[in-house]
Amino acid sequence: MELVTDAVRKPNTEGSTSSIYGMPVDAHHPFYLDLYRKSVQNPVAFWEELGQLLDWDRPWQQVLDNSNSPFTKWYVGGYLNACYNAVDRHILAGRGDQVALIHDSPLTATVRKVTYQELYDQVVLLAGGLAKLGVSKGDRVVIYMPLIPETIIAMLAIVRLGAIHSVVFGGFAARELCSRIEHVEPKLVIAANAGVEPGKVVPYLDILHSAINMSRWKPPQRNIIFMREQVASDILDDKLDVLWSTVQDMADARQPVACVPIEANDPLYILYTSGTTDKPKGVLRTIGGHLVVLMYTLKMIYGIKPGDTWWAASDMGWVVGHSYICYGPLCLGATSVMYEGKPDRTPDPGQYFRIIDHYKVCGIFSVPTSFRVIRRADPEISYGRQYCMKSLRAIFIAGEHCDYETKAWIEKTFKVPVLNHWWQTETGSAITATGLGLKHSLNPPMYSTGLPLMGYDVKVLKKDGTEALPSELGRIVLKLPLPPGNMATLYRNEELYRKLYFQKFPGYYDTMDAGYKDARGYVFVTARDDDVINVAGHRLSTSSLEDAVLRHPDVVDVAVFGVPEPTKGQVPLCLYIPVETCKKTDAKLSAEIIKLIRDIVGPIAAFRLITSVKNLPRTRSGKTMRKAMADFARNERVVLPATIDDASVFSEIRRALQHLGYAMSAPDPIVAKLLD
């Protein structure tokens, strides 16, 4: 039996013998239990009712078609348009003057507020121009733009025509962009001429030209370029490019282009995952079920109502941006914040507080790293103390593990519940959560990612496919059929879709995450399954060890990963970042941390390899690159993704690892963008 060995993670195992899908009926509010039971036992009735959240051009004929599992279909025969539900219907309801988007960019010293009417006006002009260029239902269009309102305008203009967008993160270099262009084969590309980062301008136009030049697929239409004059001035190549404004001028202003209804199981978008090792996979999301789930989850998880101001602190190149910057809040009729800046240095660590105060933000979705950065830069909140947080109801975190110390600091600082939840690019919204609208306890067990959400029958399986006991570590899987909103397939790769997600555990979707459930049904996601360290036959999750390290008051951040050891097979190696005010030597602080681990976890962890660093390698979305560091320590060739925030960190990582006897002959990591 593989048990969770970290003492800080022992869940409450008391419960009732009467349960619903492993959850004691006396442990949770009947409102949630009744909803959950209905969603799993009678999904047709449950989701049929929720389908009414959207406006449909033609009603569905069948709620659920699971005749070709795992290619499940929802709302079969129903026709609708995403742009109509996100924009037009609010205009018709007389809410055109409400602000739809707030773009706050300390990097360009600008603030823009775009009402629903203004959003409509810009979308129909761009859609009209795209139609004149031949973009129509089923066509693919690549978007390569920063976090600006025009990115959402482009997305909505494309789907207005029934076409499919594929947004590529603006931090990607030419080779990454090229690979997506070759795979999607777009009719055209919409891009900005430039992006901006602290201290530098990112030359989007040059990157785009390089990508198309090396691409085997040449888009038949010219690139549409939105010029950010306040960032950079560029001269377009008339053979390759056309101005955004020129395309809008092509539209017939007297005859706004109509929304094209598409079937609920037609594609809405293709979004490429960008993991730290594997080649990108094109997640294909269909329209109907996805929009239903986004509206429902904004209300039931995040507690957001029409007219509220909501801030998903992410980027349009990631799934969070698609779900909760664009489609979710706009379909609901809320106001969505787009913040083009950093938590700490644009220009100071008070920016999150300023945004909340100035725009009366009700809820935030962010990654724990953002708050760790603020805490590290300004632990006493000297910059943020001047702002009022009264509008804020809760902070939601996801994307990476949140340690107890960081969570406690956020709650003390912002004075609202900090609620962890778990989801993936593939699912499009949360699998487990603590929901403000579900009558959940707002004090879930420490480190839990919450309770299963509607339609998700969450299981923890052992290697032999049998179900794990409460508190027993295993692979987290989801029983089929999956609820609406999940990916329909991998674009142009159905074979990989079947093999990757459904082959290992027949009848289930394999999340590839490790974790466990406690006796009350709370889910604990400990790590990606390959982040579990096997020490002399004992499985330890990296996150449990990191939690213990972060209990030390002089540690602000940490990464733990497994490295080879002749006797035990694997042992943990720890790289930590001390607080800036720490006066202790590396040797003294490391010794204190080793003792702390022995006291909390025990000698079973074989925790002895430890040293401090100034920075850790992360992706731009905040995920710590443990596997890259583990491979580097084993002297393997490491190819870093284009999404790495700062590749130069690996120079320091090499010195730290060599100090501990690892990475002695490791070749320098290759950064994807340098391959250009």
Of 218, 238, 203, nearest to 142 (Cα)? 218
Of 102, 116, 167, nearest to 338 (Cα)? 102
Mean pLDDT over residues 226-231, rounded?
96
pLDDT digits (tens, 9 = 90+) for 275-320: 433 466 899 999 999 999 999 999 999 999 999 999 999 999 899 9
Mean pLDDT is highest, among 18-22, 232-236, 298-302, for 298-302
Q: pLDDT at residue 172 above 70?
A: yes
**Residue predicted with more confidence, 101 or 567:** 101
pLDDT at 8: 35
pLDDT at 17: 46
The architecture (CATH level 2) of 85-455 comes to 3-Layer(aba) Sandwich (3.40)
The segment(s) of the chain belonging to CATH 3.30.300.30 are 536-671
Tokens of 196: 């901006």
List, in order, residues 6 or more apart from 165 with CB less than 8 Å away.
Answer: 140, 141, 142, 143, 154, 155, 158, 159, 269, 270
Element (H, E) at 517: strand 508-517
Is 0.85 surpassed by the pTM of this model? yes
Which CATH number is associated with domain 536-671? 3.30.300.30
Mean pLDDT over residues 389-402, rounded?
93
Mean pLDDT over residues 76-89, rounded?
98
Mean pLDDT over residues 451-479, rounded?
96
**Residue predicted with more confidence, 540 or 60:** 60
The segment(s) of the chain belonging to CATH 3.40.50.12780 are 85-455
Q: pLDDT at residue 53 above 80?
A: yes
Matching residue, tokens 């202003």: 253
Q: Please state, in angstroms and rounded to a whole number, the distance separating the CA atoms of residues 288 and 520.
A: 33
pLDDT at 530: 57
Q: What is the mean pLDDT of the chain?
A: 92
pLDDT interval class at 7 (50, 70, 90): very low
Mean pLDDT over residues 498-511, rounded?
96
Of the chain, the percentage scoring pLDDT greater than 90 comes to: 80
Compute CA 469 distance to the chain's CA centroid, rounded to the nearest angstrom: 30
pLDDT at 537: 65
Q: Please state, in angstroms and rounded to a whole number, the distance separating the CA atoms of residues 314 and 341.
A: 10
Element (H, E) at 30: helix 30-41
Tokens of 377: 């830069």
pLDDT at 20: 85
Q: pLDDT at residue 70 above 60?
A: yes
CB 347 within 8 A of CB 107: no
